[in-house]
Structure 1
Amino acid sequence: MTDVNELLEIAIKETENLMHNERFLVKDLFKGYEWNRIPRNDRLLLGTLFLSYVNKTNGKIQAIEKTSSKQQKYKVML
């Protein structure tokens, strides 16, 4: 299985394919079967690391509201 840091790099790279004002969850950055193959604890850690990355970079991605299932939503800015 892929290391969590490698998964984070994949997720960050995948954000380059998103359009302005697009809203997404971290799991949206992976194909369904790929996301389901990541162990739950690694998915949770990946979510935490991605949020930390977004907060530290002040880049084109912004954390917005959470879903009813407590998943962090993001939005692509300029």
Structure 2
Amino acid sequence: MIDVNGLLELAIKETENLLEGEIFLVKELFKGYEWNRIPRNDRLLLGTLFLNHVNKTGGSIQVIEKTSSGQQKYKASVQNSM
């Protein structure tokens, strides 16, 4: 059983590796085989949860246009320094 909240945390953590101005899809935050192993319903839920997280926190990720296939695109803004 896949824990979608755990996947969300992994995706959020992976955004720390993005460069400023980099454009990405949520699926690109996972290795290809990892993404393919996530059931479609869970991938859709993960996408919704990630979008809600970005809209709620307003951090270093901004929502941009969708792809022609309806996937939400994001852009990494100024990186937080830690």
Pair in the same fold by TM > 0.5: yes
TM interval, shorter chain, is over 0.9
Name the residue aligned to 2:43: 43
Q: Write out the 4+ residue segments of structure 1 that deviate beyond 2 Å after TM superposition.
A: none
RMSD of aligned residue pairs (Cα, Å): 0.6
Aligned positions, number: 78
Name 1:76's counterpart in structure 2: 76
Answering whether residue 17 of structure 2 is matched by residue 24 of structure 1, we say no
The equivalent of 2:56 in structure 1 is 56
User: Any gaps of 5 or more consecutive residues in structure 1?
Assistant: none
CA shift, 1:43, in A, is 0.1
Normalised TM-score (structure 1): 0.98
Q: Distance in 2 between matches of 1:42 and 1:2?
A: 8
Q: What fraction of aligned residue pairs are identical, expressed as a percent?
A: 78
